[in-house]
A and B are shown apart, each in its own frame.
Chain A
């Protein structure tokens, strides 16, 4: 037995830190909505199953719909039953429900924020607060302003914290994004704001950083010297699927490129950060976005393609064209497809084209990043049976069939030199058999802990909107019909022409 009084906690030494959030009160605005039901509550349940979330967390759902606590809990339990990746365990579900309450509130009514404040600053509630704006975007500044007005935007002591998670879309163009940032900053510091892009919570997207910076062999090749072009594809086979009124105001450029695809570009193209810390990583990402060559009106015409899908067949079923979808204006000029060529003007990437394409009602659902390497400098096998060799291709498959594939040439067995292209494959599903967490689980946990690495910073959002707004501006000036493509194909001919200008072809995912 030790005779001296211990000053330090000897049990902490060498134990390794598991990131667990402090006790906190989680307030979800828009708690009766689709996002909360499909994603947020199942994520909270699974975090509790995995012991990331303790019973000392309190959850308050806030929405306009008039529920009492019991009705709300039943609906949340039902949502978890339907959408959780795990079958709910009644004991854990009960624990979550015991800590869940509901407040009916009009987001515009200051008095109701006052009563919310009185409730959550009471003795039953932890004094760390995480607010989640799962509401229509128009409500973001209103809610933020009211939270500030009733004194809920800042912690009551230095030991406590207040954070706010803001869902996409973050603005409609550069001006609105800057205005929204300004409105939020009237109330919250940047360090308190967590702009969520669920793509960054996907395991395969996070693996881009691990693949690049935890392996020694790839990074030396990751330059203009060895890489010929990069293709990023986010293809969906679904149409607007009940989101017609939203989608027709957004379009593929705002819905996919401004956030998800430019995030993928920045992760692929960024320099190694000095540390795996929020600002170090985001500093490097924003440098990439700022290095993308701006689009002039002429560039928009030459290096971007937008299109709408026509009727066609997907998986053997006839589907309507974009203009015939519900809630879509018959004269809509909103794009359901966009393709573009980006150039990144920095030392590493000068001259390497990045091709992006995304669309609805394409041939299949596939998200992938294909990095095509330059061919071998000397055609050593030119006199053989296989004079033309396919270039090496590294494909990072984000979804489905998550994994990484490397294409290279191998000798066909036999007395002659014949080369055949083969693939070396890594599949997440076979090497890591356990079900990965949902993106929202990872991102919610990060916000609870205060790690903003996987959230988008103000300058990132504005840099992305700067680029996207220049394209939108160019499109607004363009006359003439918008190209179309048949549903179930890989997009319009104009996209093929775009990439063929540089002698490349779109990859078939």
Chain B
């Protein structure tokens, strides 16, 4: 088989005009042959209009997951033009001479919507979702207005993907709460990134001394290259929930316990207690080091993936799937706060 990329783009198309040409674009590029689809999912990506598209990351995603990817960006819905600008990139495998039809491996449709097409984007996108395979929407933009039709969205996409590392707690809360009320499942890219360090922490806490320090630390210091974003906020919330800290995200604290957030080139968390210190750092590996007050230290490590990025995170997230532990965390740590 040989692989080729089909590219097609058009600006200022009306919605109906696009729906008419859309089914013909790929067959026309294949001299009339109708390809078989290898797609295993539809992945919608909702992004703010001014967010530049990272085609390299998207291509990496499609290399891992044969998919129909729908990138949705909206201009102001008050714009005078009703319609969309479209860019399509499709990967097709053409059999050599076996008589089989070509295989549509993946297709990525980037759409910038304007006017009423933007205002009613969910109805618009619904028709583009492939049937009988899972459909996820990664919400990579700002939270929507209060009158957003979450009920319609939940009829189109079965799960909402968030990235809590890139959202404030308030934004995360708003999106998670709205989606939950619409009975959508919620998945979190940051939760997937945090699985290896969660396992390291859980493994270390088989030792009661390590567990006692982590349960009742005297002092916690957090080093972060950017004090706007904490390393693994969802994992931090998990620790807070499972160990009963009731601290939420830093900056936070309680009488007698300070959580200190400082600048640090290497992201880390350090927990100090009477029996020793536990330090989690992320550089080439997740490394968890235990320095007891008496006796020798221990360390646990997990190599970071070779190619970090959206594709890796998404692959890890899809492997985890809908995680009951994350659902409990959401209920406890985020949604519970609003009640």
Contacts and interface: CB of A to CB of B under 8 A. Distances in A.
Contact of B211 (A9, A425, A430): A9
Interface string A41-70: 000000011010011000000000000000
Interface string B209-221: 0011001100000
Nearest to B204: A11
B131 to A, nearest CB: 16
Nearest to A17: B199
Given A11-B202, A430-B103, A49 B301 contact: no
Interface centre among A2, A51, A92 (most CB of B within 10 A): A51
Interface in A17-40: 18
A23 to B, nearest CB: 12
Interface centre among B206, B239, B244, B257 (most CB of A within 10 A): B244
A14 B328 contact: yes
Interface string B88-105: 000001000000000101
Interface string A415-456: 000000000010100110110000000000000000000000
Instruction: Report, as a range, how many residues of chain B touch the other chain.
Output: 35 or more
A220 to B, nearest CB: 22
B40 A431 contact: yes
A49 B306 contact: yes
Contact of A11 (B103, B242, B324): B242
B242 A10 contact: yes
Nearest to B63: A433
Nearest to A86: B306
A89 B239 CA distance: 33
A442 to B, nearest CB: 16
Interface in A214-266: none
Interface centre among A10, A16, A18, A89 (most CB of B within 10 A): A10
Contact of B216 (A1, A10, A18, A49): A1
B161 interface: no
A64 B289 CA distance: 41
A418 to B, nearest CB: 19
A1 B246 contact: yes
A13 B238 CA distance: 11
Interface of B: 36, 38, 40, 63-66, 93, 103, 105, 196, 198-199, 201-202, 205-206, 211-212, 215-216, 239, 242-246, 254, 257, 284, 301-303, 306, 315, 323-325, 328
20 contacts: A1-B215, A1-B244, A1-B245, A2-B244, A6-B243, A9-B205, A9-B211, A10-B242, A10-B243, A11-B239, A12-B205, A12-B206, A15-B202, A16-B323, A16-B325, A89-B306, A427-B38, A430-B38, A433-B64, A433-B65
